[in-house]
């Protein structure tokens, strides 16, 4: 027991840790599950008939059945029709053990639950006008007693009974019966012919409207598609429907995966802890991930809807038909499916832009997670609360591991491997080893060393040195890999790392003649290659290199690593302007931005004045050349002109200097605004602000670049641009441009800008107060304001009619936006932001532990700050830890943070 654990109140003694090494197959399995869910105001009665049999693979000879259950009232229990007496079973913590169970039997349990009082939003709960479920990972045990584990798969038949004021009754599978009952009640019975674990169960009862369409599969079957929403939102479903049909076609074309039921349904729910859930045939979505129309949704919102709809649909195979043996294998389905949805989005838009977006997210958030107290491999070895492991590591790094496998195997062999995986394991609950084995068997590649990515935590570091022998015309790259120690593993073995690269000369890409290998003309012009790093140190020698090249390294970000190479500014300018790899052009722009910010930070930390700060002329010239390059995607130009974020700068720092990062980055942005004023003004003026909105890649790119230009121009505090910004807010026909303008006004340092901002905020709320998702944007823009006293405004907004402290979307919009995305204010005022966040977590701990746990992230990074901030942040973590009845979710994160 640690010192932290010894100091806990008696009721806060550490909950049980679950270890992968302790996995055992279940003693019993369930052939069929027949549910009858009768919904009444105030309580719901659940009757569950389970057809159980002893697992042939079980090693235990015990004649008892242990079911999981939480917050249930047991009404009765019968085994093969015989009502059991109290001595025949025993309650434990979240369990019900039944003694003297035979090899095969049918068990009927009747329980009562109270969905209206379920604020955890797990299991069955009430959300506004409907009842709905969320069962991943362990929510089904809040509905009935069950073997609530992913390796127990059963065929479900579900009958939902409710008052007719809830006319829509849904569950998994195909509708097989429906009818009317006495007392103004009715029922619907659904049958899912595909075995599934309980976490994929879903149920909805509500007063809902829907849109309907159809999709003809590659084998000629017609599938009915329905999206259910509250009636007021019916006009916001078309984009999700289009995205769904595109996803279904793409999965057939790219992976050969056809949908298997007669109907596919999506339901939009306002109160939801996650983004969406892939329940078999009945996907339940957070409203933010399904509702979209130009007047209420930004471009980012449209893209999120498209990506999330695709993600949940793709789970039908990578997660449902083939699922996880246990929750340690979570990345088996999530990493693979994130990779699939990322490739889909790339095909629907710009592959380079999508890659930039994904890598930005990874390097900002997942790299920070890898370096923090919650660092874990993508297949963890242990956990206390599985909900804490729905992490950036499992999802985003998990997707990067799949991407590396696709890179190493090549497109054809990767497809063969996934085909074999689905064929071999259809209807099974399997492991990450099973996935890698299928790829290895199909391709003939030995992936033994590669599997270290699944078991070793941390972000590998590559140190790369170059040498050019002009006389021999040989160019060599010596690459060393290392990985910092983590609590689970102090000494890391070398990873198998694919490094995509090219060499640039004065005229562009050079041919690659790697010593010891044949030139590759089959896949291109032999100017691009994937090096395979498998040792702690390797040297790669290129022959017949007639001039000293500039290496283009880690193209497309071919591995989730931190790379260090001593590029000169001239090298970066060349890469930014000439590299054939779009990702590395963007990466060079980021490195140039980092150099400029580093120079300003040095001045700031030495007490120098940053007002009027200037950047080097060659940097200005590089940015100007990007603005003038007609060959570039406008979205890429926007990204290349956007400096590295404060969050990424913080992740790179050994000790985060909040003020230096914020004010230095701002100074560089202002310098670029002054020097490139004419170019930005030209871009902004040339844009047709009255054009009809379209959510196409080209239209989104044009808006993105125009709004980046506006953001720079607003830094000049010039009245003409403030008026232009106000005009954009007042006259825009889409939420993207409205929010872009409102954001710049709210953050304007000019008094005129602030006056207009207050008027705009009042106008915005008056116009959109009945649109919950739009109000969330209004909350976020205020919580993210970098001007002083924002914390006081956030506290005031908690009492505003537009805020609901029980709704996860509202909490994320206001509290999480302030604490995660507003460093200059969160870390100000002698720790007031830390105390504010701790207050929210303590309150949410009992109300919704999942949300409370996820809010903790900013405090977990306390060791990255100076000693004063460390003491203040740690004190708040200790205050949270001292709370009585701390949930498993919060306990795990806080205790690991205090180690």
Q: Over the Cα atoms of the chain, what is R_g? A: 28
Q: Say how far apart CA 652 and CA 656 lie, in whole Å.
A: 9
CA distances from 652 to 376, 596, 623 (A): 19, 15, 23
Contacts with 691 (C-beta within 8 Å, 6 or more apart), sequence order: 699
Asked if residues 634 and 704 have their Cβ atoms less than 8 Å apart, the reply is yes
Asked if residues 733 and 294 have their Cβ atoms less than 8 Å apart, the reply is yes
Q: Where are the alpha helices (DSSP H) in 557-657?
A: 569-578, 582-605, 617-628, 634-641, 646-652
Asked if residues 292 and 225 have their Cβ atoms less than 8 Å apart, the reply is no
Q: Which residues pair with 562 in a beta bridge?
A: 461
642 token code pair: 């956007």
Place of tokens 């790669």: 540
Q: Say how far apart CA 259 and CA 314 lie, in whole Å.
A: 10
Asked if residues 593 and 668 have their Cβ atoms less than 8 Å apart, the reply is yes
Asked if residues 160 and 171 have their Cβ atoms less than 8 Å apart, the reply is yes
Please choose, from the candidates 102, 100, 68, 104, the residue with its C-alpha nearest in 3D space to the C-alpha of residue 87: 100
Please choose, from the candidates 285, 376, 250, 390, the residue with its C-alpha nearest in 3D space to the C-alpha of residue 333: 390
Specify whether the backbone of 524 is left (phi greater than 0), alpha (psi in -120 to 50) or beta: left
User: Angle CA(242)–CA(248)–CA(252) in degrees, nearest 5?
Assistant: 145
Give the DSSP letter string of 432-483.
HHHHHHHHHHHH----TGGGHHHH--S--EEEEEEEEETTTTEEEEEEEEE-
> How many residues are listed for the chain in this entry?
899
Asked if residues 825 and 833 have their Cβ atoms less than 8 Å apart, the reply is yes
Alpha-carbon 642 to chain mean position = 22
Q: Say how far apart CA 350 and CA 347 lie, in whole Å.
A: 7
Please choose, from the candidates 82, 111, 81, the residue with its C-alpha nearest in 3D space to the C-alpha of residue 96: 111
Q: Which of 312, 369, 646, 771 is catalytic?
A: 312
Q: Say how far apart CA 177 and CA 446 lie, in whole Å.
A: 51
Q: Say how far apart CA 521 and CA 250 lie, in whole Å.
A: 29
Taking CB atoms within 8 Å and a gap of at least 24, the contacts of 286-290 are 286/808, 286/809, 287/229, 287/233, 287/772, 287/773, 287/809, 288/773, 288/776, 288/809, 290/227, 290/229, 290/236, 290/237, 290/240, 290/266
Please choose, from the candidates 312, 533, 318, the residue with its C-alpha nearest in 3D space to the C-alpha of residue 419: 318
Q: Say how far apart CA 486 and CA 224 lie, in whole Å.
A: 49
Whether residue 547 lies in the annotated active site: no
Please choose, from the candidates 432, 385, 381, the residue with its C-alpha nearest in 3D space to the C-alpha of residue 405: 432
Contacts with 674 (C-beta within 8 Å, 6 or more apart), sequence order: 716
Please choose, from the candidates 248, 252, 249, the residue with its C-alpha nearest in 3D space to the C-alpha of residue 312: 248
137 upstream amide cis, omega within 30 of 0: yes
Hey, CA dihedral for 50, 55, 59, 63, is it positive or negative? positive
Enumerate the active-site residues: 312
């Amino acid at each position: 027991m640690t010192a932290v654990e010894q100091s806990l109140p008696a009721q806060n003694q550490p909950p049980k840790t679950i270890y992968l090494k302790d996995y055992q197959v279940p003693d019993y399995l369930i052939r069929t599950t027949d549910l009858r869910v009768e919904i009444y105001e105030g309580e719901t009665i659940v009757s569950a008939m389970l057809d159980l049999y002893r697992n042939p693979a079980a090693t235990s000879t015990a004649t008892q059945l242990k079911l999981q259950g939480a917050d249930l009232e047991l009404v009765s229990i019968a085994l093969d029709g015989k009502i059991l007496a109290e001595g025949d079973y025993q309650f434990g913590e979240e369990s019900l053990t039944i003694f003297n169970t035979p090899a095969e039997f049918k068990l009927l349990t009747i329980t009562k639950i109270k969905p209206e009082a379920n604020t955890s939003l797990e299991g069955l709960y009430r959300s506004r006008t409907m009842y709905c479920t969320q069962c991943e990972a362990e929510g089904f045990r809040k509905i009935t007693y069950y073997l609530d584990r992913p390796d127990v798969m059963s065929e479900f038949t579900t009958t939902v009974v409710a008052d007719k004021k809830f006319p829509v009754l849904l569950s998994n599978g195909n509708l097989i019966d429906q009818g009317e009952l006495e007392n103004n009640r009715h029922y619907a019975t659904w049958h899912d012919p595909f075995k599934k674990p309980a976490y994929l169960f879903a149920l909805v009862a509500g007063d809902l409207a829907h849109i309907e369409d159809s999709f003809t599969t590659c084998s000629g079957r017609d599938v009915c598609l329905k999206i259910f929403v509250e009636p007021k939102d019916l006009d916001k479903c078309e984009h999700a429907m289009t995205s769904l049909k595109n996803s279904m076609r793409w999965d057939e074309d790219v992976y050969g995966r056809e949908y298997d039921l007669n109907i596919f349904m999506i339901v939009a729910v306002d109160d939801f802890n996650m983004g969406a859930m892939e329940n078999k045939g009945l996907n339940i979505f957070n409203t933010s991930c399904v509702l979209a129309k130009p007047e209420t949704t930004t471009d980012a919102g449209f893209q999120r809807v498209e990506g999330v709809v695709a993600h949940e649909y793709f789970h039908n195979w990578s997660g449902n038909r083939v699922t996880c043996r246990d929750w340690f294998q979570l990345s088996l389905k999530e990493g693979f499916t994130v990779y699939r949805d990322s490739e889909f989005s790339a095909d629907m838009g710009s592959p380079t832009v999508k890659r930039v977006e994904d890598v930005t997210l990874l390097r900002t958030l997942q790299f920070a997670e890898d370096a923090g107290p919650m660092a874990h491999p993508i297949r963890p070895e242990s956990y206390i609360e599985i909900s804490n492991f729905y992490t950036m590591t499992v999802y985003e790094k998990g997707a990067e591991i799949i991407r590396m496998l696709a890179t190493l195997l090549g497109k054809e062999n990767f497809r063969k491997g996934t085909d074999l995986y689905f064929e071999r394991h259809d209807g099974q609950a399997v492991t990450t080893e099973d996935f890698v084995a299928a790829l290895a068997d199909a391709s003939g590649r030995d992936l033994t060393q590669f599997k270290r990515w699944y078991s070793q935590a941390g972000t590998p570091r590559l140190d790369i040195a170059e040498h050019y022998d002009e006389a021999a015309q040989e160019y060599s790259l010596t690459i060393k890999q290392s990985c910092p120690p983590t609590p689970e593993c102090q000494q890391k073995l070398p990873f198998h790392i694919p490094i995509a690269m090219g060499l640039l000369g004065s005229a562009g890409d050079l041919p690659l003649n790697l010593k010891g290998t044949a030139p590759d003309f089959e896949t291109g012009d032999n100017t691009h290659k994937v090096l395979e790093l498998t040792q702690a140190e390797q040297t790669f020698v290129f022959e017949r290199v007639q001039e000293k090249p500039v290496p283009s390294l880690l193209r497309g970000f071919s591995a989730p690593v931190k790379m260090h190479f001593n590029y000169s500014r001239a090298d970066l300018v060349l890469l930014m302007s000439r590299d054939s790899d779009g990702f590395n052009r963007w990466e060079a722009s980021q490195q140039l931005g980092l150099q400029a910010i580093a120079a300003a930070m040095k001045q700031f930390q030495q007490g120098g004045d940053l007002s009027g700060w200037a950047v080097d002329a060659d940097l200005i010239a590089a940015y100007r050349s990007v603005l003038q390059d007609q060959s570039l995607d406008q979205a890429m130009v926007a990204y290349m002109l956007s400096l590295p974020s404060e969050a990424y700068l913080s992740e790179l720092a050994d000790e985060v200097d909040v003020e230096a990062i914020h004010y230095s980055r701002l100074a560089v942005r202002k310098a670029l605004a002054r020097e490139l004023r004419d170019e930005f003004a030209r871009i902004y003026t040339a844009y047709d602000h009255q054009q009809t909105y379209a959510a196409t890649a080209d239209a989104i790119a044009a808006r993105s670049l125009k709004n980046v230009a506006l953001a720079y121009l607003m830094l000049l505090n010039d009245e003409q641009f403030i008026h232009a910004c106000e005009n954009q807010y007042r006259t825009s026909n889409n939420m993207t441009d409205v929010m872009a303008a409102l954001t710049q006004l709210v953050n304007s340092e000019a008094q005129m800008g602030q006056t207009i901002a207050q008027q705009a905020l009042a106008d915005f709320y008056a116009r959109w107060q009945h649109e919950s998702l739009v109000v969330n944007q209004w909350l976020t823009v205020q919580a993210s304001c970098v001007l002083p006293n924002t914390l006081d405004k956030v506290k005031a907004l908690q009492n505003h009619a537009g805020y609901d402290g029980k709704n996860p979307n509202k909490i994320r919009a206001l509290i999480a936006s302030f604490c995660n995305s507003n460093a200059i204010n969160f870390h100000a005022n002698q720790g007031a932001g830390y105390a504010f966040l701790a207050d929210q977590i303590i309150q949410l701990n009992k109300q919704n532990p999942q949300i409370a746990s996820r809010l903790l992230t900013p405090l977990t990074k306390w060791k990255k700050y100076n000693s004063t901030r460390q003491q203040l942040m740690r004190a708040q973590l200790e205050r949270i830890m001292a709370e009585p009845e701390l949930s498993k979710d919060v306990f795990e994160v806080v205790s690991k943070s205090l180690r």
